[in-house]
Homo-oligomer: A and B are copies of this chain.
């Protein structure tokens, strides 16, 4: 019999960029008894979450909820709107963009990859992984496509593998400037619910997201937010599909149900999560993450280590990647930190394996948790013998001490004052 609570003393510090720490309220909610997915109580639950979820995407269009992980929602976005052999443009901002591209290849799409084209002293093999999407490159490419063969532009909003947040509004402007009819598909799996994301305003056709990041849920649920054009495209898309097919889901969602068994208990958690985000207010949520991210970056700067994202305009408020000095094995460092300090950090994925580690600062966290994370990393760096320019812990403490948190949190933390 496996002991499922693995950590013998105290709470584990789960500082990977998702799955993020799940609030106690949500863990309790998902442990309520499962109900009949065809009964009236479920219908009430279904209508509740299908309505509230739209706010987080900032959309008035339908949001599809899949009882599946985020990777499935990638596949759903592609197979519902496209046909085998279709041309699509994908922009490689990091490992997840690359994985999505690999999926497109496996599905038989003709995916063309754009990327940042400069050079990088630290990561000569992956210079583009230090930058966000270049909207002008997309515009140029679309203008060349006079035959309008390109059916979709696929970009990642917040690249979880690097910590670069791309300007989706700029991508929309680029497509419009080129007068191109391609659909715009955006992965905001790790951005949604933590940093500002506007499905409607930015004219996104399909937004892909998942439960285990800003929504602070366990993994196992994923999303496609649609646009009228995406729905229209789905009617003629040529991919064989059944589980992922939007049509039947949309039809049954009208009453709060799904064509096949939804994952009821995660929907309990989603309802709770959406109540929490609504109570805090999205602007407060975004400001909270922005402040945390600035604080964590101040620590990295104090250490004198390069932030993985090289473009300040694209710094992610969800996670911060750090490049370790040549000769240091970032994964050995992570293992040491895990074993000594019960702190999980994100690994370097794909092209940057062993060269970087990532610190998550999203969702159900707070100031001291982030100080603890920075302290754990700093102790690990020292034990590994990495020379540091200064104290990251001092830096983050100075930052947090001098920058008050956004309003809601303060108010909620002092019920006695109310």
A210 close to B (CB within 8 Å): yes
A9 close to B (CB within 8 Å): yes
Asked if residues A41 and B416 are in contact (CB atoms below 8 Å), the reply is yes
Asked if residues B218 and A4 are in contact (CB atoms below 8 Å), the reply is no
Task: List which A185-203 residues lie within 8 A (CB) of chain B.
Answer: none
Asked if residues A379 and B397 are in contact (CB atoms below 8 Å), the reply is yes
Residues on B with beta carbons closer than 8 Å to the beta carbon of A69 = 67-68, 260-263
Residues on B with beta carbons closer than 8 Å to the beta carbon of A376 = 367-368, 371
Most chain B CB atoms below 10 A, which of A29, A371, A404: A371
For A, the interface residue count at a CB cutoff of 8 angstroms equals 125
Asked if residues A219 and B37 are in contact (CB atoms below 8 Å), the reply is yes
Residues on B with beta carbons closer than 8 Å to the beta carbon of A34 = 14, 19, 21-22, 212, 218-219
Contact A268/B408 with A36-B14, A400-B379 known, Cβ cut-off 8 Å: no
Asked if residues B276 and A8 are in contact (CB atoms below 8 Å), the reply is yes
Could you tell me the distance in whole angstroms from the C-beta of A262 to the nearest C-beta in chain B? 7
User: Interface digits, A395-418 against B, CB 8 Å rule (1 contact, 0 not)?
Assistant: 001001100110011101111111
Asked if residues B71 and A368 are in contact (CB atoms below 8 Å), the reply is no
Q: Which of B18, B72, B260, B410 lies in contact with A339, CB distance below 8 A?
A: B410
A235 close to B (CB within 8 Å): no
Contact A375/B365 with A2-B271, A218-B264, A261-B71 known, Cβ cut-off 8 Å: no
A272 close to B (CB within 8 Å): yes
Asked if residues A242 and B75 are in contact (CB atoms below 8 Å), the reply is yes
Asked if residues A35 and B14 are in contact (CB atoms below 8 Å), the reply is yes
A394 close to B (CB within 8 Å): yes
Task: List which A317-369 residues lie within 8 A (CB) of chain B.
Answer: 338-344, 347, 363-369
A280 close to B (CB within 8 Å): yes
Residues on B with beta carbons closer than 8 Å to the beta carbon of A23 = 5
Asked if residues A31 and B41 are in contact (CB atoms below 8 Å), the reply is no
Asked if residues B106 and A268 are in contact (CB atoms below 8 Å), the reply is no
Report the Cα distance A41→B371, complex, angstroms. 24
Residues on B with beta carbons closer than 8 Å to the beta carbon of A394 = 391, 393-394
A116 close to B (CB within 8 Å): no
Number of this chain's copies in the assembly equals 4
Asked if residues A37 and B19 are in contact (CB atoms below 8 Å), the reply is yes
User: Interface digits, A26-68 against B, CB 8 Å rule (1 contact, 0 not)?
Assistant: 0111111111111111011100100000000000000000111
Asked if residues B9 and A11 are in contact (CB atoms below 8 Å), the reply is no
Asked if residues A242 and B107 are in contact (CB atoms below 8 Å), the reply is yes
A84 close to B (CB within 8 Å): yes
A132 close to B (CB within 8 Å): no
Asked if residues B378 and A375 are in contact (CB atoms below 8 Å), the reply is no
Contacts A19-B261, A75-B243 aside, 18 further interface pairs with beta carbons under 8 A come to A9-B280, A9-B364, A21-B34, A34-B212, A40-B338, A41-B415, A67-B68, A71-B259, A71-B260, A84-B240, A103-B243, A106-B241, A338-B414, A339-B410, A341-B368, A367-B376, A372-B372, A379-B400
30 CB < 8 A contacts A-B? A2-B44, A4-B32, A4-B45, A4-B272, A5-B25, A9-B409, A10-B365, A10-B369, A12-B35, A14-B36, A27-B33, A34-B218, A40-B415, A43-B415, A68-B72, A69-B260, A72-B243, A75-B242, A75-B243, A106-B242, A107-B241, A239-B240, A338-B413, A343-B368, A368-B376, A371-B372, A372-B375, A375-B375, A382-B401, A391-B391
Q: Which 5 A-B pairs have the closest CB atoms?
A: A40-B416, A10-B366, A220-B263, A31-B31, A44-B415
